[in-house]
Amino acid sequence: MTRKILFDTDPGCDDASALSLALASDELEVVGVTTVAGNTTIENTTRNALSVLELHDRTDVPVARGCAAPLWRPLETAEHVHGSSGITGSPPVPDVETIDTSGTRFMLEQVYEHGDELTIVAVGPLTNVATAIAIEPDLPELIDEIAIMGGAALCPGNSTPEAEFNFYVDPEAAQRVVRDGNPRLIGLDVTQDATLTAEFVEELAERDDPHRTLAAWFGYSEVDAIREGELSGEQVVHDVTVIIDLIDDILEYRRFPVNVGTDDGDFRGAVVCDVNDVTGTPPTANVALEVNVPAFRNRIAELIEKL
């Protein structure tokens, strides 16, 4: 039986890669996409999500435009990483539009329609998910689970010394979802090790689309070097890890009490993971700590051949 997923995203190159592979999987059914501001503006992330679906001839998948800014803070984006439009390469101009429903409302509609058959896959800032939980506090109990790419539980961050980007952008939303959502927390502890070889990405770049565009997304940190065969090393594709784990259980988890820092400074968006049970509070999240890299790479190679 396929697992139904609602893909909540801020494309972003690794987001686009993750959505592409989810669409290729026989084990997953993408029932919809909700967009959120993060890697770039909501206008860009929404257009990019539509472009991914256009690239793979899957414009039957509905896209709902979500929150344009974090809950309480000004938006901070990452175009310096993902490019001025949010994704690299040359994806097609979308020929379809979003549905006439907000991202949060569409998310709730999918929760009520699919119930415990639904997994919310959230690979951007958690603004949409936090808003949906605020409206429907029972959301985590109504669905199968929430799988998040975000946070740095027991490792350094990539936006501050302690914080990963998605949690940094909207720490209040992350705190709400981690506290109340009982999520899978798939953070930098595993995603920075879940890499693709330079040779694999360069070989894809020599093919026709959609593989050539997917190679640009896989190698977004060094996009200008891909076609020349000059990638410096293994390529990190954070959000893809969530999709492959849903298919193949490539991650090992431990349950911990988890909180998220909402102050300013270095601890904004930092994950506080109570490894030694100092607080004596119940666990709130399944935290990914180990990844099977060969299984990760093998499954990606299989999925790519289906695109």
Which residues are annotated as catalytic? 238
| Phi, psi of 33, rounded to the nearest 5 degrees | -130, 130
Whether 21 and 52 have beta carbons less than 8 Å apart is answered as no
Spell out the SS3 assignment of 170-223.
CHHHHHHHHHHCCCEEECHHHHCCCEECHHHHHHHHCCCCCHHHHHHHHCHHHH
Greatest C-alpha distance within the chain: 55
Cα(82)–Cα(38) distance, rounded to whole angstroms? 11
**Angular region, 268: left φ>0, alpha ψ -120 to 50, beta rest:** beta
Cα(32)–Cα(29) distance, rounded to whole angstroms? 9
Whether 122 and 150 have beta carbons less than 8 Å apart is answered as yes
Residue listed under structure tokens 């998948």: 61
Cα(127)–Cα(233) distance, rounded to whole angstroms? 33
